[in-house]
Structure formats: C-alpha cells, structure tokens
Amino acid sequence: MKVASLTGRLTGHRSHPDTIGSGGGEGYGSAENPAGRKPTHIGAHGFENLRLQFANGQRTDLLLEDFDLAPDLGDVITIDVASRRGGARPFAALSHTSNS
C-alpha cells in the first residue's frame, strides 16, 4: 500500500448530500417478524468534490465521502490518500487555513 499527501489551494468545491433507503413495504410474516413488515434502513452520506491547485500550477479533482470538511475557496488543504491494487481512497483531510 502507498500513502500520498496532496496539499494545495482549494479552487473549486461542491458538496451534496445523498440519502439512501430500503425496505418499509409489506412482506411475509415470520416468528421474528409476525406482522410481516420489512425493516426500514435510511442512511445519509455527504459527498464533496474538491479541486486543488498545487504550488507547481497543476490541478487535481478529489471526491470525499463523509468527511464534512466544508472548506472555503482559497483554503490550503492536505488530503491523505491510500492506494493499493489500482484503487485510491482518501482517508484524512486537514485545512491549514484558519478563519477565526
């Protein structure tokens, strides 16, 4: 496994929630579920599309899931990415910019 840290200035940002759900309809009864109701599962995920510009001028786009980073344009951000067998997954994010 390889780990890389990508640090750059945020030049684009879009966040969007995604709600998923299943079940909730009528089903067959059983000893555990005599009324025959299917279980209902609803979950919420947040996705953020980030565009970072590196010091050398190159840019990259990243998709973060459930990080809740909420950065502002112009913030300096580091994203740590683990890659293995052709796949890459961000696992940590840090904003170096303080707005206080």
**What is the pLDDT at residue 48?**
85
Q: What CA–CA distance (Å, rounded) separates 33 from 82?
A: 42
**What is the pLDDT at residue 52?**
93
What is the total count of domains within the chain?
Answer: 1
Other CB atoms within 10 A of residue 37 CB:
13
**H/E stretch holding 18:** strand 2-22
35 inside domain = no
**What is the pLDDT at residue 85?**
86
**What is the pLDDT at residue 11?**
93
65 inside domain = yes
Alpha-helical (H) ranges within the chain are none
21 inside domain = no
22 inside domain = no
CATH of the domain at 57: 2.40.50.140
**What is the pLDDT at residue 45?**
59
32 inside domain = no
Q: What CA–CA distance (Å, rounded) separates 67 from 80?
A: 12
Domain encompassing residue 75:
1-16+45-100
7 inside domain = yes
- Per-residue pLDDT tens listing for the chain (100 residues): 899 999 999 999 887 666 554 444 444 444 444 555 544 444 555 788 899 999 999 999 998 888 878 788 999 999 999 998 888 889 998 989 866 4
Q: Name the β-bridge partners of 84.
A: 87
Say what the pTM is.
0.66
**What is the pLDDT at residue 19?**
52
92 inside domain = yes
Longest pairwise C-alpha distance within the chain: 65
